[in-house]
Amino acid sequence: MRLTDIKKDWARNKSVYFLAIPIVLYFIIWSYIPMVGIVLGFEDYSPRGGVLGSEFVGIKNFTDFFSSYYFGRLLRNTIILSVSSMIINFPAPIILALLLNELENKMFKKVVQTISYMPYFVSVVVICGIIIDFFAYDGAFTELFVRIGLIKEAKDLLSVKSAFRPIFVFSSTWQGVGYGSIIYLAALSGVDQELYEAAKIDGAGRWKQMLHITLPSISPTIIIMLILLVGNLLNVAMEKVILLYRPVTYETADVISSFVYRRGIQEGDYGYSTAVGLFNSIVNLLLLLLTNYISRKYSETSLF
Amino acid sequence: MKIKDSPSRIVFKVINTILMCLLAFACIIPLWHVLMASFSNPTLITQHSGLIFWPLSGPGRSATLGGYKIVLKTASLARGYANTIFYVGVGTILCVSFCSIAAYCISRRRTLWMKYLLLIIMLTMFFNGGLIPTYMVNKYLTLVNKRWVMIIMGLMPVFFIIIIRTAFMQLPASLEESAQLDGAGHMTILIKIILPLSKATIAVIALFYAVAKWNEYLFAVIYLTNRKLYPLQVLLREILVESSGNLDFNIANEVGGGGEDYKKLLQYTTIIYATLPILAVYPFVQKYFVTGVMIGSIKG
């Protein structure tokens, strides 16, 4: 890059650069300065010293966290919730898309699709309100479970430790499965129909066609979605957790992000909670890079 | 050439159809339950357990619009509504404007530095400071407990910028070049030429943002403690999740005695009251969301 190039570029494009100033400022202030703010995680924060003047304590916050009673519980809850969400909520939209794709009545397909997207647009507060209502002492699901003998007597299921995870995971399936299927339906509509004709001539049945044509055709979409999901593995939907958990279910429900919120925002323990949050972000980043690497190596599909 | 279905294919089709009907039923019934309960007799609701398929009424205990009457007269909910409309309205306009400007900047091909802006923006997708450092920045800027923090947080989602940029890049470069020769500045090019040609994408982005903003509660819970600034969703949380008595429902004024029974009914009516705008526009706009997912997926 020569100086004359820079001058020429400036002369021609300076008005675009002026246009970009607010954008750059926004990202510096609300994305990059917080990244620098991670130093908080290495400080014993005191309101008087502030971010710059508080005592530097090295990795004490981290070692405190790793050796605390919470570490095991939070890591276990976070991993169990996210992995079980993934095992159930990742394939569900793919299966739904495949089933929808088999419907021959276009009108019926359209109606089912439209209805199944709907829960996605209802706010998480309302969803949780409905969950609380349905699983309450006199709720619809509690009553159903008593009737089919799943539980012995009616009780408020959200105060039951072992009930939190299934309620959390399956309510997310319910809310997201329809909307999640859109992207796969789009991929399915792009599959070359001639492949199916050729397979039929070769005598492949419906099941074989699905295994050998449909799934390979949409696999790039599936892999991209999987990478994105794994990169967010530790980001359990905190907004839903803090609506549904209660002190009696912290044992199974409290996750890293909800802990950061409680310790940081509600209790003002900024240094410690920044360290915990940083641990979360780093693990996420590593997981994203790792899956992307594995995927690029074995399937030639990758994010970057 | 229609080939007759094999028996196993017929069985599959029947089972598949039943499954899909069940799914549709499962997706709509909780919302239907809430809608029907919101018209039901308050005393009967407290005695009822299980799904409500039709407004509950009985001899001397009629179905009622009473819940709605109370909700509509509740000052804090009205203020919450106004706040939400402000956050959604102003937020959508500013989000679309700033995302478009950002997308315009990074879609300029013949510049030396804009590729670095793209990098600056993209990097924030993979790593961020996290909740607490971001909170501290807003605290230092004295934005905590201010209306504008709700607009600033999430103003420029990277994903939106990338989608708009993709739309801009698909326009022929000759368009702007000829405009530039005619002496048009960048703002003019953006507003008069590029935006009108990308209005489908912009509309989808605006819609995505508006719905997300209407439904969002977390930023408010983190940054606002002043009740006067609360959006609807935070008030909903108090009513539905915390079951706290903070809200100024004027039950006694409306129905005289027996106010306790109304607590449950009011939960249902408030849900409908707060979700109505979404449900009302949903049938008309859902196809745009489908388009939105498709645009997003092309970029992947």
The 3-class SS string of chain B reads CCCCCCHHHHHHHHHHHHHHHHHHHHHHHHHHHHHHHCCCCHHHHHHCCCCCCCCCCECCECCCCHHHHHHHCCHHHHHHHHHHHHHHHHHHHHHHHHHHHHHHHHCCCCCCCHHHHHHHHHHHHHCCCCHHHHHHHHHHCCCCCCHHHHHHCCCCCHHHHHHHHHHHHCCCHHHHHHHHHCCCCHHHHHHHHHHHHCHHHHHHHHHHHHHHHHHCCHHHHHHCCCHHHCCHHHHHHHHHCCCCCCCCCCHHHHHCCCHHHHHHHHHHHHHHHHHHHHHHHHHHHHHHHHHHHHHHHHHC
B188 falls in which pLDDT band (50, 70, 90)? confident
pLDDT for B299 beyond 90: no
CA distance B141 to chain A (A): 10
Q: What's the average model confidence in pLDDT over A217-246?
A: 84
B212 interfaces chain A, CB cutoff of 8 Å = no
B151 falls in which pLDDT band (50, 70, 90)? very high
- Going from N- to C-terminal start, the domains of chain B cover 7-73+249-299, 75-228
A4 interfaces chain B, CB cutoff of 8 Å = no
CA distance A126 to chain B (A): 6
Task: Return the CATH class of domain B75-228.
Answer: mainly alpha
- Going from N- to C-terminal start, the domains of chain A cover 56-299
List all residues of chain A from 11 to 30 with a beta carbon under 8 Å from chain B: 12-13, 15-17, 19-20, 22-24, 26-27, 29-30
Q: What pLDDT does B289 receive?
A: 75
C-alpha pair distances (Å), B164 with each of A228, B71, B175, B187, B195: 20, 40, 17, 16, 10
Q: Looking at beta carbons, which residues of chain A come within 8 Å of B137? A: 29-30, 33-34, 37
**Does B124 sit within 8 Å of A206, measured CB to CB?**
no
Q: Which residues pair with A55 in a beta bridge?
A: A44
Q: Which CATH number does A56-299 carry?
A: 1.10.3720.10
Q: Looking at beta carbons, which residues of chain A come within 8 Å of B217? A: 123-125, 239
Q: What pLDDT does A128 receive?
A: 93
Residue among B50, B121, B129 minimizing CB distance to A34: B129
Q: Which two tokens stand for residue B21?
A: 């009907």
Q: Looking at beta carbons, which residues of chain A come within 8 Å of B288? A: none
B217 interfaces chain A, CB cutoff of 8 Å = yes
Q: What pLDDT does B75 receive?
A: 83
Task: Read off the pLDDT of residues B257-287 as tens digits, 9 standing for 90 and up.
Answer: 556 677 888 889 999 999 988 888 888 887 7
**Does A19 sit within 8 Å of B27, measured CB to CB?**
no
B195: Cβ contacts below 8 Å, ≥ 6 apart: B100, B202
Backbone angles phi, psi at A236, to 5 degrees: -60, 140
**Does A265 sit within 8 Å of B222, measured CB to CB?**
yes
Q: Are B112 and A20 in contact (CB under 8 A)?
A: no
Report the C-alpha gap between B104 and B97 in whole angstroms: 10
CA distance A265 to chain B (A): 7
Residue among A1, A36, A115 minimizing CB distance to B28: A115
Give the DSSP letter of residue A56.
Answer: E
Closest CA to B277 of B219, B213, B226: B213
**Does B286 sit within 8 Å of A116, measured CB to CB?**
no
Report the C-alpha gap between A229 and A264 in whole angstroms: 26
Other beta carbons within 10 Å of B65: 11
Backbone angles phi, psi at A44, to 5 degrees: -95, 90
Report the C-alpha gap between A27 and A23 in whole angstroms: 6
Q: What pLDDT does A293 receive?
A: 86
B255 falls in which pLDDT band (50, 70, 90)? low
Q: Of A62-76, A263-277, B235-249, which gets the smallest average pLDDT? A: B235-249
Average model confidence (pLDDT) across chain A:
88
Q: What's the average model confidence in pLDDT over B245-263?
A: 60
**Does B137 sit within 8 Å of A116, measured CB to CB?**
no
A173 falls in which pLDDT band (50, 70, 90)? very high
Q: Looking at beta carbons, which residues of chain A come within 8 Å of B105? A: 16, 19-20, 23
Q: Looking at beta carbons, which residues of chain B come within 8 Å of A30? A: 134, 137, 152-153
**Does A114 sit within 8 Å of B129, measured CB to CB?**
no
pLDDT-above-90 percentage for chain B: 40
Higher pLDDT, A13 or B216: B216
| Minimal-distance CA residue of chain A relative to B184 | A15
CA distance B19 to chain A (A): 9
Residue among B113, B267, B289 minimizing CB distance to A129: B267
**Does A121 sit within 8 Å of B282, measured CB to CB?**
yes
- Could you report the predicted ipTM of this complex, rounded to two decimals? 0.89
Q: Looking at beta carbons, which residues of chain B come within 8 Å of A29? A: 137, 141
Q: Which two tokens stand for residue A7?
A: 């001058």
**Does B20 sit within 8 Å of A34, measured CB to CB?**
no
**Does B23 sit within 8 Å of A112, measured CB to CB?**
yes
Among B77, B132, B271, most A C-beta atoms within 10 A, so best to mutate, is B132
A197 falls in which pLDDT band (50, 70, 90)? confident
Q: Which of A92-96, B64-68, B175-179, B248-252 has the highest mean pLDDT?
A: A92-96
Q: What's the average model confidence in pLDDT over B187-204?
A: 88
The predicted model scores a pTM of: 0.89
B135 falls in which pLDDT band (50, 70, 90)? very high
B1 falls in which pLDDT band (50, 70, 90)? very low
Residue among B19, B278, B289 minimizing CB distance to A122: B278
A198 interfaces chain B, CB cutoff of 8 Å = no
Q: 3-state class of A246 per DSSP?
A: coil
**Does B16 sit within 8 Å of A16, measured CB to CB?**
no
Q: What's the average model confidence in pLDDT over A65-78?
A: 92
Closest CA to B271 of B37, B7, B12: B37
CA distance B256 to chain A (A): 26
Average model confidence (pLDDT) across chain B:
85
B109 interfaces chain A, CB cutoff of 8 Å = no
pLDDT for A162 beyond 70: yes
Q: What's the average model confidence in pLDDT over A136-162?
A: 86
Q: What's the average model confidence in pLDDT over B186-195?
A: 87
pLDDT for A48 beyond 60: yes
Q: Looking at beta carbons, which residues of chain A come within 8 Å of B242? A: none
Q: What pLDDT does B209 receive?
A: 93
CA distance B211 to chain A (A): 7
**Does B135 sit within 8 Å of A16, measured CB to CB?**
no
| Minimal-distance CA residue of chain A relative to B107 | A16
Closest CA to B70 of B276, B278, B277, B273: B273
